[in-house]
Amino acid sequence: MDLAKLLGLTLLSLVITGILIVPFIDFLYKIKLRRQNQRTVDIFNKPTPFFDKYNKWKVGTPFGGGVLIIGVVTVLSLWSWGIFAVNARLWVIIVLLFAFISFGALGLYDDIKKLINNPGRFAFFGLRFRHKFLLQWALAFLIALILYFQLDYSTIFIRGIGLLDLGFLYILLAMLAIVSFVNAFNIADGLDGLSSGLFLICLGAFLAISSTALDSTLAIFIAILIGSVAAFLYFNIFKARIWLGDVGSMSLGATLAVIGLLSNKLIALAVIGGVFVIEIGSSLIQILGKKYLGRKIFPVAPFHLLLLKRGWEEPKIVMRAWLFGFFFAVLGLFIAFLSD
């Protein structure tokens, strides 16, 4: 598929999302799906006073923008695949939409839970973090099975070693990549425009990879997703009028991982998403330090909160992160094309 058509789909997606997002924000205000004046907790159910200190001014901002992105991108992608992708690969479409929608549904559960003042009245809404974490692994397992059995993905290229056939180990590696990026994206989605801006940079890199590989099925989806997220980012930059919510962060995190897996560029994925890797890496080190050493490794985590504590302003952190994201994207593309 030629570049002009892909750019046209990006513009179409951007315009449609841009038209719908203002009434959608009004709708979120109407149903009161917005941040409440309450204390947040970490995965150990302990208060996070530092996070609350720097985010208390954001009380009242609606979240759930991922619902609009998922809706627009899904409809436009199905329409575009039917018109432009003559040789569209059915299982690629299935795995993309399954990851995109299923992780979004899991995130939507979390967003809806925030509206429930007394979770004890609703048994389903009492689901703990570890149970949601297990559901993430279950969804990732289903996606990995499709990649392995239906699409025959089982190899990874390592420069200097060559092509390695991992066999069933590929399923575990794919699951790890998906769950890692879901949580990395969710962790990074703590500053206005941070995760969505980084995500756009990553998508640009993978659009270049899929276009070069002549994979029209994947390229169409990425092009449409770029347009929709770009329109959302206009309203998500500091000071944000809307946030992705867990429905958006989980959906987009899983989708980024699946795009990397479908491109068969797993190592490049880790580099292109380098800032996400730093964010989840700092959080993981902090968690392990608390659990096994009984103390914090960093004053606060993830990394963007550490910069806030050092006195950096939120827009400065976000823009510097975008610059690093661009560097990692170029480096990841360099690695990806070396393996071709």
The DSSP-derived string for 3-26 is HHHHHHHHHHHHHHHHHHHHHHHH
pLDDT at 122: 40
Confidence of residue 40 (pLDDT cuts 50, 70, 90): low
Burial of 18 (0-12, 13-18, 19+ CB in 10 A): middle
Share of the chain above pLDDT 70, in %: 88
Query: Residue 118: pLDDT above 70?
Result: no
Q: Which pTM value belongs to this model?
A: 0.93
pLDDT at 50: 59
pLDDT at 43: 47
| Residue 255: Cβ within 10 Å count | 28
Whole-angstrom CA distances from 316 to 175, 312, 330 are 34, 7, 22
Whole-angstrom CA distances from 40 to 154, 226, 286 are 40, 31, 17
Candidates 256, 261, 262; CA nearest to 325 is: 256
- Give yes or no for a contact between 192 and 240, defined as CB atoms under 8 angstroms apart: yes
Q: What is the mean pLDDT of residues 253-274?
A: 96
Mean pLDDT of the chain: 89
3-state secondary structure of 123: helix
Whole-angstrom distance, CA of residue 337 vs CA of residue 302: 31
CA 214 centroid distance within chain: 24
pLDDT at 119: 46
Confidence of residue 161 (pLDDT cuts 50, 70, 90): confident
Whole-angstrom distance, CA of residue 129 vs CA of residue 118: 17
Q: What are phi and psi of 297, to 5 degrees?
A: -85, -40
- Distant-in-sequence, close-in-space partners of 164: CB < 8 Å, separation ≥ 6: 155, 156, 157, 158
Candidate from 50-59, 162-171, 297-306 with smallest mean pLDDT: 50-59
pLDDT tens digits for range 131-152: 889 999 999 999 999 999 999 9
pLDDT tens digits for range 303-330: 999 999 999 999 999 999 999 999 999 9
